[in-house]
A and B are shown apart, each in its own frame.
Chain A
Amino acid sequence: MADTNPLVRIRGLKIEGRSDEDWIQIVNGVDLDLNSGEVLGLIGESGAGKSTVGLAAMGFTRDGCRISAGTVEFDGIDLIAADAATRRALLGRRIAYVAQSAAASFNPAHRIIDQHTEAPVQHKVFSMSNSQADAMELYERLRLPNPTEIGFRYPHQVSGGQLQRAMTAMAMSCRPDLIIFDEPTTALDVTTQIEVLAAIRDIVEQFNTAAIYITHDLAVVAQMADRIKVLLKGDEVEEAPTRTMLADPQEDYTKTLWAVRSFQRTQKPPAPSSDVPVISIRNVTAAYGSVPVLHDISFDIHAGRTVAVVGESGSGKSTAARCITGLLPPLEGQIEFEGAPLPRDYRKRSKDQLRQAQMIYQMADTALNPRKRIFEIIGRPVEFYLGLRGAEKRRRVEQLMEQIEMDPGQYIDRLPSELSGGQKQRIGIARALAAEPRFIICDEVTSALDQLVAEGILKLLANLQDSLDLSYMFITHDLATVRAIADSVVVMKEGRVVEAGPKDEMFTPPHHPYTDLLLSSVPEMDPDWLTGLLEARGVDNIGDSASARMS
């Protein structure tokens, strides 16, 4: 039955997007079938067109986009040819949508429960009171705290992870046949994500709802989907049941996606305790105005080693970096460079002190001045610190570009906007290297990049470290990155160092409970991982609730 009459049937879907006055094709003929009760994972990198396809499955296109060819059928109804009223009757009632940012997708002017009951009441599925009672039941199922009360709050009074679950409940309000999940956990921290994932999976199974789950995260989609479809730049790459896809990908592109997690360099032995660390953070306490962010943190970074600083958003890991660079002078404690204390404020530091500590940023887009050519960007520190000019400067810049594996002849006179994301990040590395520092802070340098590109950057950084004897402080929230590159790890939570030590110790038990929670919350490629985790930890011992119990 399922094969003959799918719930959603998309054929030859082409979508165009407006750019200036022209229309550019962004989806080039995608076919899609979804049976009722089935979960399809739609996966791809940014720009793959996965959200656009997901919305098109509802017969909807965003402003500036249009469907130029193909058909979208839902339960035999042609959504593209249908008039507005027919489409409206389906939306919300039989097809529901869960957006990426719950905070922006809830109307700030209305209470959560009023937004929840709107669709059922408008579509005459439930009465207002029935729908309210149903909402509370759903909240309970989704393990929201105070299920009878939380709906009567306004969206801004509820946390992000809870809102995302409330939105899932809202999508369920009419018991639809199909829900589109558009990256519902991308904006959340790992520990919160796990909770939302568990809730979504549970409720979709419970009501036997079909779903299209859109994400860029392979490990997440492995937990959620029955089948996976891979998109690349508006084209379908391949599609297969989840286990088959994970075990035996057919296309080269898919294989590379699966392979990236294999990079791991061997951990270096800890530096002898007699060595003076390159950078040493001693009992630093810092605050933004009157808001305390760091409480008495200390750790050392030795020559040629990489220290990964791990934590969720708001844990103070970036603030620690700002203290080291002197942008945020600490209230107490001090930063030492090779045993000598550094002035707290960067303005008081000498040119040479500034030169020794460089920084590479997360967003290469904002880290490079868009109006300067590559030669100027890399050449400025060369000229500024080393005093090289003219032909000497040019030679040095070319040399640096070769070090970051980019062809000077081709790229030296380009603007940042003419480079890809990975290339921009390499220029950022070259700019840091140009100062010939001993120590580099890498602030989430790979988190804005697609996985394959990120791996290239990590390898480059590792090679540079070996050849130039550099020390890295690697700020990240991604434990896969930590595994790949770190020698030792510092785990932070709420401005405190929770645990610190060599990498191999950190990844073998016993852990500090928070480290344990953090480690266990990172999704793995194994489709049984989430089930296993829930069995091992119990549904109440994950996510925010577990995290809250610790502090």
Chain B
Amino acid sequence: MHSVLFIVIRRLGLGVLTLFAVSVMIFLSVNMLPGDFAEAILGQGATPEAIAAIREDLGLNKPAVTRYFDWLFGVLTGDFGTSFAQANFSAFAGEATGKGGIGSVAAQLEPRFMNTLFLAMVSALISVPLSLTLGILAALFRNSAYDRAVNIGTLSSISSPEFFLAYVLILFLAVLTPIFPSLSNIYADMSMADRLERTMLPALTLTLVVTAHMMRMTRAAIINLLASPYIEMARLKGISPFRVIVVHALPNALAPIINVIALNLAYLVTGVVVVEVVFVYPGIGQLFVDSVKIRDIPVVQACCLIFAAAYILLNLMADVLSIISNPRLRHPK
């Protein structure tokens, strides 16, 4: 019973397992903090009573395993805990802030998560078609002047730090010729056109980085494919070049191309952090960096989990799709 379904289910199971392992790792990392949350919140001058109160409130007296499952259960129901920065003492002293409350991590995360998603989507919409076209062209015209220029260009783009590309774009497109704003402050009640305009520069920066990666990978995948004997066979059958590509190369190229796209979308996840900081884009990446600086542990923990989950899901998707698109697996013996 080695059907595709079985393989896909096994892969999905592995994905869930990975997510679980990652949550354990994040939890353990956070628990390596010196002292505990309570001291971290109140600082050094706190009275023992206050610390004890908060410890009680956060359940820090419970054993680590219990705390982990409490946290995991909370996450699964959308409750990421309470942000230190947003919390005031009344919240701790009085009734616990549940999910969706003012101080809750979830309330803080949600709009920013949507913003980041928007940014990633805009970047993907520009970069995926662009890089696939350019990458396939580079493969078809390999070793030509175009291919060499592309190689140098993409290598340079990959090697540059995101903030370098970002500032170059700001210099040319915001300062010297003011087409787009250099700050990407976005509000909830903004019109779509404004939103797009303000998202453009960060999106273009991400596009530059991701496109370069994606093009190189597409080129490699296609060249690998074009070197296979069955493509040579198709050419030797006197079939038109167009048909060779569409009928013979494309069905087999699907798996590697899907893989390339998913891997690069996963790469976008990490890329947003620096870019959001440069453009002061109110996304999850910036929240993450800010929280890291003020050591707002619940937020850091939540952001980390979200990034990791997105990353794992995209990789999972890539694997599942390439399993499905493999003819050898689709038509078992």
Question: CB distance B233 to A88 under 8 Å?
Answer: no
| Selected A-B contacts with CB under 8 Å, 28 pairs | A60-B236, A62-B232, A87-B238, A89-B238, A91-B235, A91-B236, A91-B237, A91-B238, A92-B236, A92-B239, A96-B237, A97-B236, A105-B232, A106-B230, A106-B233, A107-B233, A107-B234, A108-B252, A109-B251, A110-B247, A119-B238, A119-B239, A122-B238, A123-B238, A156-B328, A156-B331, A156-B333, A157-B331
B238 touching A93, Cβ below 8 Å: yes
Is A118 in contact with chain B by the CB < 8 A criterion?
yes
Using CB atoms, name the residue of chain A closest to B253.
Answer: A109
Given A108-B230, A110-B251, answer yes or no on A154-B236 (Cβ-Cβ < 8 Å): no
Q: Is A90 an interface residue when CB atoms closer than 8 A count as contact? A: yes
> What is the distance, in angstroms, from B273's C-beta to the closest C-beta of chain A?
39
Most buried by A among B232, B236, B247, B331: B236
Residues of A within 8 A of B233 (CB): 97, 99, 105-107
Q: Assuming the A-B contacts A92-B238, A101-B229, A119-B239, are A108 and B328 also in contact, with contact meaning beta carbons closer than 8 angstroms in the complex?
A: yes
Whether B248 sits at the interface, judged by CB under 8 Å, is yes
**Residues of the B chain whose Cβ atoms lie less than 8 Å from the Cβ of A429:** none
Nearest-Cβ distance from residue B98 to partner chain A, whole angstroms? 53
Query: Is B3 interfacial (CB 8 A cutoff)?
Result: no
Total number of B residues with any Cβ neighbor in A under 8 Å:
22
**Any chain A CB within 8 A of the CB of B243?**
yes
A154: contacting residue among B228, B229, B327, CB under 8 A? B327
Q: A104-B228, A107-B230, A107-B234 are in contact. Are A122 and B239 (CB under 8 A)?
A: yes
Tell me, yes or no, whether B152 is within 8 Å of chain A by CB. no
A60 surroundings in chain B (CB, below 8 A): 235-236
CB neighbours (8 Å) of A15 from chain B are none
Shortest C-beta distance, B258 to chain A (Å), equals 14
B243 touches A122 (CB 8 A): yes
- Look across to chain A and name the residue whose beta carbon is closest to the beta carbon of B227: A63
Report B-chain residues with C-beta under 8 Å of the C-beta of A157.
331, 333
Cα A104 to Cα B229 in complex, Å, equals 6
A158 to chain B, nearest CB (A): 9
Which of A87, A107, A156 counts the most B-chain CB atoms under 10 A from its CB?
A107
8 A Cβ contacts from B158-173 to A: none
Complex contacts, B230 vs chain A, CB 8 Å: 104-108
Q: Which of chain B's residues has its CB closest to A120's CB?
A: B237
Residue pair B331, A154 in contact (C-beta under 8 Å): yes
Q: Indicate if B177 sits at the interface (CB-CB under 8 A).
A: no
- In whole angstroms, how far apart are the Cα atoms of A154 and B329 in the complex? 11
State in angstroms the CA–CA spacing of A357 and B180 once bound together: 76
CB distance B331 to A90 under 8 Å?
no
A60 to B233, CA, bound (A): 11
Question: Across the interface, which residues of A come within 8 angstroms of B239, CB to CB?
Answer: 88, 92, 118-119, 122
Asked if A58 is at the interface (CB within 8 A of a chain B CB), the reply is yes
**In the complex, B88 has a CB within 8 A of chain A:** no
For window 137-170 of A, CB contacts with B under 8 Å fall at 154, 156-157
Known contacts A60-B235, A97-B237, A110-B247; 19 further A-B pairs (Cβ under 8 A): A63-B227, A88-B238, A92-B237, A96-B236, A99-B232, A105-B229, A105-B230, A105-B233, A107-B233, A107-B248, A107-B251, A108-B252, A110-B251, A118-B234, A118-B237, A118-B239, A119-B237, A122-B243, A154-B328
Which residues of chain A have C-beta atoms less than 8 A from B331's C-beta? 154, 156-157
Docked-complex contact A109 and B327, CB < 8 angstroms: yes
Q: Report how far A243 CA is from B251 CA in the complex, Å.
A: 48
CB of B61, distance to nearest CB on chain A (Å): 50
A58 touches B232 (CB 8 A): no
A157 to B331, CA, bound (A): 8
- A residues within 8 Å of B by Cβ? 58, 60, 62-63, 87-93, 96-97, 99, 101, 104-110, 118-119, 122-123, 154, 156-157
Task: Determine if B29 is an interface residue (Cβ-Cβ < 8 Å).
Answer: no
Nearest CB of chain B from residue A200's CB, rounded to whole Å: 17
Instruction: Write the nearest CB–CB distance from A51 to chain B, whole angstroms.
Output: 12
Chain A residue at smallest Cβ distance from B239: A122
Interface of B is mostly: helix
- Inter-chain CA distance A220–B228, complex, in Å, is 27
Selected contact of B252 from candidates A89, A101, A107, A119, CB within 8 Å: A107
Q: Which 7 residue pairs are nearest across A and B when measured between Cβ atoms? A: A91-B238, A92-B238, A92-B237, A109-B251, A104-B229, A107-B230, A97-B236
Bound form: Cα–Cα A62–B251 in Å: 23
CA distance A157 to B229 in the complex (A): 18
Which chain B residue shows the least CB distance to A106? Answer: B230
Is the C-beta of B44 less than 8 angstroms from some C-beta in chain A?
Answer: no
In the complex, what residues of B have CB within 8 A of residue A99's CB?
229, 232-233
Alpha-carbon distance between A97 and B235 when the two chains are bound, in angstroms = 10
- Any A CB within 8 A of the CB of B90: no
- How distant is A112 from chain B, measured CB to nearest CB, in Å? 12
User: In the bound complex, how far is the Cα of B238 from the Cα of A58, in angstroms?
Assistant: 10
Does chain A have a CB within 8 A of B240?
yes
A497: min CB distance to chain B, Å: 29
Report chain B residues within 8 Å CB of A58: 236
Question: Which A residues are CB-close (under 8 A) to B232?
Answer: 62, 99, 105
User: 1/0 per residue B234-262: CB within 8 Å of A?
Assistant: 11111110010001100110000000000
| Complex alpha-carbon distance, A123 and B243, angstroms | 13
Query: Which residues of the partner chain B approach A109 to less than 8 Å between Cβ atoms?
Result: 248, 251-252, 327
Question: A351 vs B229: C-alpha distance in the bound complex, in angstroms?
Answer: 47
CA distance A62 to B227 in the complex (A): 10
CA of A110 to CA of B227, assembled, Å:
18
Contact code string B313-333 (vs A, CB < 8 Å = 1, else 0):
000000000000001100101
Of all chain A residues, which has the CB nearest B326?
A108
Q: How near does chain A come to B147, taking the closest CB pair, in angstroms?
A: 13
Contacts of B251 in A (CB 8 A): 107, 109-110
A88 touches which of B227, B229, B240, B333 (Cβ 8 Å)? B240
- Max chain A C-beta neighbours (<10 A), residue from B228, B230, B331: B230
CB-defined contacts of A62 to chain B, threshold 8 Å: 232
Question: How distant is the Cα of A422 from the Cα of B236 in the complex, in angstroms?
Answer: 36
Separation in Å of the A103 CB from the closest CB of chain B? 9
Q: Which residues of B contact A156 (CB under 8 A)?
A: 327-328, 331, 333
With a CB–CB cut-off of 8 A, which chain A residues contact B237? 91-92, 96-97, 118-119, 122
Nearest CB of chain A from residue B50's CB, rounded to whole Å? 62
Q: State in angstroms the CA–CA spacing of A89 and B236 once bound together.
A: 10
> Which A-chain residue is minimally distant from B143 (CB atoms)?
A63
Most buried by B among A62, A96, A154: A154
B234 CB, min distance to chain A CBs, angstroms: 7
Interface centre among B227, B233, B247, B248 (most CB of A within 10 A): B233
With a CB–CB cut-off of 8 A, which chain A residues contact B333?
156-157
- B234's closest neighbor in chain A, by CB? A107
Determine the distance from Cα of A156 to Cα of B230 in the docked complex, in whole angstroms: 13
A residues near B248, Cβ cutoff 8 Å: 107, 109-110
Q: Which single residue of chain B is at the shortest CB-CB distance from A156?
A: B328
Bound form: Cα–Cα A97–B237 in Å: 8
Per the bound structure, the CA–CA distance linking A483 and B228 in Å amounts to 39
Q: Which of B228, B234, B237 has the most CB of A within 10 A?
A: B237
Instruction: Report Cα–Cα, A156/B251, bound state, in Å.
Output: 16
B244: min CB distance to chain A, Å? 10
How many Å lie between the Cα of A110 and that of B228 in the bound state?
15
How distant is the Cα of A157 from the Cα of B328 in the complex, in angstroms?
Answer: 9
Query: Contacts of B247 on A, CB cut-off 8 Å?
Result: 110, 118
CA distance A105 to B228 in the complex (A): 8
A240 to B251, CA, bound (A): 46
A92 CA / B247 CA spacing, docked (Å) = 16
Once bound together, how far apart are the Cα atoms of A106 and B227, in whole Å?
Answer: 13
CA distance A118 to B240 in the complex (A): 11
Roughly how many angstroms separate A5 CA and B84 CA in the complex, as a whole number? 93
* CA–CA, A104 and B239, complex, Å: 18
Output the least CB separation between B230 and chain A (Å). Answer: 4
Residues facing A in B196-242 (CB within 8 A) are 227-230, 232-240
Question: Closest Cβ of chain B: how far from A179's Cβ, in Å?
Answer: 11
Residues from chain B with a CB closer than 8 A to the CB of A87 are: 238
Given the complex, which residues of A lie within 8 Å of B227, measured CB to CB?
63
